[in-house]
Structure formats: C-alpha cells, structure tokens
Amino acid sequence: MDLPAWAWGGEAGIRRHADRLAVRHHVHDIPLHRARYYAHIEGVIPPDRRRRPEITDAGERARYACERWWRRGLRRMIGRRGENWLRIRGQDFEQQPYISDWGLERYREAAIRSREGLSHMVAESDDGQSVPLLDCIAGSVANPAIRRGEMMTRIRGLEDEGERRHLSARFVTLTAPGRMHVAGESHYDGSSVRAVSRYLARVWARTRAAWAKAGIAVYGLRIAEPHRDGTPHWHILLWAAEDRIDEAAAILRARALSDAPNEPGAQQHRCKCVVLGAGGAAAYVAKYVGKNIDGEGVEWDHTADLAAAPAAERVTAWASCWGVRQFQFFGCSPVGVWRELRRAQDGAPAEWADLWTPADSGDWAGYTRAYSNNAARLAVVWSDAPGAYTDPVGNMVRGLERPGAPDLWTRSRIWCIKWAATAICGAASVGTLARSALGLVAITVEASENHGLNPKRTNDEDQGIDFPGRERSGQDEDGHRRRENLRSRRRYQLYERCTQ
C-alpha cells in the first residue's frame, strides 16, 4: 500500500505525526504558500478560502498549527488511499461488499472515539441551562431514526403535492460507464469513488441545465448508494407534468449515454427508468431510504447478500470514508425554514400562521404550497466573536424573516459547547479557557502525571492497525524508484503553483 512510513503506526502514528506537523508550523514562521504546499505533500486539503472568504490569514495559520486539524485530514487521507488501494488490488467484494473490513473497522473505531469524546461534553446556554451533548444529538437529525422519519415525511409530502397537481413520477437509476467499475471489468481505468461521484454530478448538472433551458419544472430526490464493488450509482425520484415527464427522462438518458454509449450493456443499464403509479412513489423509495440509513423496514439487502442492519452499516461507512452525500432533494422548498418553524413550539404570530401550521403538524405538502405563495428565509446575525481558529464566527441563525411580517425569533438562547467537569483531557491546567466555533468554552480537566508536549506512548499504542499489503517485494524496487521520481516532479510542479 502506497502510504508514508508513519501511517503504519495506526492511530498512534497519526497522532504523533499530527503533533509534529502542528509544532513545526507553530514554532517556525512558515509563509502561507509554503504551508499550503506542505499540506498538499501530506495529502491534506488546505482551507478553500474562495468558498469560505471569512477565513483570515491568521485563521489559516491557526489551522496549520493545530494538531486536531492535521489529525482529521490525515485520517481522511489514509482511509481513502487505503480503500482505493484495496479496490484496485482486487478486494474480495463477495465477502466484503461496499467497503473493506479494514475500512469498516476504522469507521467503528472512529465512532467509538467520537462517542467517547461527546460523552464528556455538554451544551450550556447563556442562562445557565446545561444539556449533555449526546442528548442533543439524539434529538436531532443526526439520529438515524429522526433522519429517516423526516425524509419519509418530505417524500410523502412531495407525492401528495404531485397528486394534487396531477404530476407524473419516474424512478431513474443512473450508473457510470463500465471503465469506472472495478468488479468484472478488465479495462478498469483506476477511477476512485470520488472521481465517479464527480462524474455523476457533472451528468446531473448538465441534465438540470437542459431541463431549465427546455422550461421543464422538475422536483424530487436523488439517492447515492454503492454497487457491491463500492462504485457509486444514483437513484433519482422525480416528478414533472404529465406532458413533459417523458421529455425530462429522455434528456436525462441522453446525458447519461453521452459517454461510451456503444459499450456492452450501456443501453440497458446506464439509465433505467421505472414508471410509478399514483400513490406508489413513497412506498417504492422507502426501501432505498432505509437501506442507506439504518436498515429499518428492510429485511435483507440483496445487493450485499447481508441482513439489512449490517449492510446499512457498511453503506454508512462507505459514505463516511469517501465523503459522499447520500440524499439530496431538488426543486423543493428549503428544509432549513421548515426546521426553524418546528422549533417555534409555542406558536407563531398570525403573519406566520400559513407556514407554521403545516410545519408544526408535519404536513410537507401544505408547507410547500404556503412557501410557494409567500417565501421566507433564515434570519441571521453577524457575530465578530472569534471561533476555534480566531476567525469570526460569522452569520448565526436566530430565526426567520419574510416581507410584510415581523421576524420570527426561534433561538432565544446562545449556546456554547463545554467540557464536562469530570472530563480528563491529558496534560493541561485546571480552568484552561479555549474557544470553539460556538463561542467561549471553559475546559475543566485533571492534570496528568506527564506534562510534556508529546507524552511517550506505550508499545501497545504504537502497534496500531495493520494495513493490508504492507510488504513490498524486491522486484518492485525499480517501480518504487520510478514512482518516487514522478512524485518528486509532481511536488515541484505543485510547489510552483502554490507559490504563484
């Protein structure tokens, strides 16, 4: 496996290397262009300041000097490189569908680490109310049951609205060309999961542009899920007018077949369309929603040949490893406004009754009709308070606003995240103050016996996780030297781009 030497140390190796990188950027005044270059060399993506203009020079430097920032990036890099290596080298997809057992074990360990950290944290409001952070998560859409319930409510509302407007529904399955699939393809071109996702996103963007140019109004839901070999494909549930739905499906099929239309099986499998009758869309798509969240309502995953729950865990691990957005609604009313309306549990002014009443009762179809008549948007307040990396927190959602109506404030408290009083966080002084993205955080910890910056770890910690394919035979030395020379040239070219 083509990974740096420190990566063989498992989680302990990641932590040590992240500490070294953070100390190097903290001690030495490294220019930003060199810091970005070093991040690329380590396989970590620097902050994208074009998409996030609120990031300042000081905030970017603070990220490079933060071991937690490096730790997250290094874990992501190792997971994706390892999974891609296993896919290319012939992973046994019959026994390990969607993701390798190595990747699944990494996902489970990350979940344990995350839950252990969250169990020591609380959310505290400005009026002194304190709630365990795990309870907050359990009551949000991060809870798979709540997430699934909200999605099915929205899908059912879209179906009701489509029936009211006499729209037709189609269920389309969109796949990538055969050269991007690992299993059963001798001409596999080495495309990673993220490369295939970008390809499908380009096809989808061109399709929606063609719909807009043709004046076809379409709304619905798209679901990204893996084939058995981990290659993503999309399921798209869409509604359009009865006299335009076939034209919309034809445009999508034409865009899907614009690449390699004559390869074997392309006409049959590249873009498959199913006609859905009245009242059958929500029931048809429910199994796809369940099998990609927690397996609820699905007895058996026939693709993975596993029970629904373990198969759903592998799908979730696959999406987490590759950063795949599994669900996306399009052409619909915004869910952010819906969620803010449901936060107003004590009612709303008369000017907001048309939106608040259907949202409070869980009627997505009624909310869609009300929103189309008189739209609303999130009311934000700018905060100059420094966040975790000294950048301003920026816009904070406080409620809703719409023309001709008073603002509806749904967030009367300001919350911050704190360590619980019993948390133990290694070598630190009692009463240390830090800042998070939500505001000032007071950390109360117990001091450990070792007060060094890099405490020595035990041999058991250094053992880490064994990577598959660690050994390299002597026959590969020439190829290894060629790859190193090519990598050096690419690094120089990358350095030239970063310093321009």
Q: Which residues are catalytic?
A: 284, 288
Instruction: Please state, in angstroms and rounded to a whole number, the distance separating the CA atoms of residues 17 and 6.
Output: 7
Q: Dihedral through CA 256, CA 288, CA 312, CA 297, nearest 10? A: -170
Instruction: Please state, in angstroms and rounded to a whole number, the distance separating the CA atoms of residues 208 and 186.
Output: 33
Strands (DSSP E) found in 317-454: 327-330, 377-386, 392-401, 408-409, 415-419, 432-436, 439-443
Residue type, 339: R
CA distances from residue 132 to 136, 371, 439 in whole angstroms, order as listed: 7, 35, 17
- Report which of 155, 366, 163, 364 is spatially closest to residue 278, judged by C-alpha positions: 163
Instruction: Please state, in angstroms and rounded to a whole number, the distance separating the CA atoms of residues 470 and 329.
Output: 42
- Tokens 């739905």 locate to 245
Determine how many CB atoms are found less than 10 A away from the CB of residue 456. Answer: 8
Helix (H, G, I), strand (E, B) or coil at 385: strand
Q: Which residues sit opposite 234 in a β-bridge?
A: 174, 224
- Phi and psi dihedrals of 10, rounded to 5? 70, -145
Instruction: Please state, in angstroms and rounded to a whole number, the distance separating the CA atoms of residues 255 and 261.
Output: 10
